[in-house]
Amino acid sequence: MALQPLSAHMPLGQFDGYDSEYLTLKGGEVVTFKGVSVNGTDKAAFDAFDGYDNNTNFYRPTVTKTLASSNRPLFLADDGTANYGTLFGTVVGGVVGKITTGGTVLGPHTATGSGKVTLWDKPGLYAVTLDAVDTTASTGLVVGNSSLTTGSKLYATTGGLLTPNTAVKFEDVAIARFVEFSTGGSLVSTPNTLVAALNSPSSNVNGAQTRNFVSAVIWYAGAQGGA
């Protein structure tokens, strides 16, 4: 859903997204540059062609989340649909009213108009929503992974997802460290953990409610990795 810079400097900038991938970014994926021919089929705004002439031997950079061995530099992508101020709502109803919790998202991806992706390259503290990381049960960057502790090394999969699982990493170099899971962070909204047990139908005041974690807080080591 989103990348949230918590203690980080300015982003590197915006770069053309690889056509088949940029609208699939949720925010928080690990990405790198991919060279494409200036005369190829990948589309881009005209400024992406600055400095090139009409020669098939020249390549320009695009942003891709498909990682291969020793790709450098590595960035955190910061574009998506939810939590970026572009969400107009969801369709409630669906097929004859059977979808009651929301259906199709109404609202554009933040990269839709420009075709560009914002990249973060500097070390810092970031939060990545849990739908944009490796969600493999018990081995991924998930709440149920008992081997995941503060300071655990995080790698990237070949698809650009943060993971502590060394079996699916695209290379041996860690690019981040896990800090903690976080909720929405606001107490003003009175989260369920403060009131639900006392107001539950069973009146079971000992029934502590499970916290609703939405993000993984990470220390990102920067574009060169080596966390």
Using the 8-state DSSP alphabet, how is residue 210 labeled? P
Helices (H) and strands (E) in the chain, counts: 1, 13
CB 1 within 8 A of CB 27: yes
Assess whether pLDDT exceeds 60 at residue 202.
Answer: no
Domain ranges of the chain: 3-220
Beta strands in the chain (DSSP E): 3-7, 13-16, 30-37, 59-64, 75-77, 89-90, 105-106, 116-120, 124-129, 153-156, 162-163, 176-182, 215-220
Give pLDDT, residue 152.
Answer: 97
CA distance 90 to 55: 45
CA distance 172 to 161: 15
- Nearest Cα neighbor of 45 from 14, 7, 67 is 14
Give pLDDT, residue 200.
Answer: 55
Summary mean pLDDT of the chain: 84
Give pLDDT, residue 94.
Answer: 63
Q: How far is CA 103 from CA 3, 23, 86, 90, 146, in A?
A: 23, 19, 16, 6, 33
Residue 192 host element (H or E): helix 192-199
5-35, pLDDT tens digit by residue?
Answer: 888 788 999 999 999 999 999 999 999 999 8
92-141, pLDDT tens digit by residue?
Answer: 666 666 666 656 677 788 998 899 999 999 999 999 999 999 999 999 99
Least confident of 14-23, 37-46, 80-89, 198-207: 198-207
pTM for this prediction: 0.83
Tokens of 145: 């992974």
Assess whether pLDDT exceeds 70 at residue 164.
Answer: yes
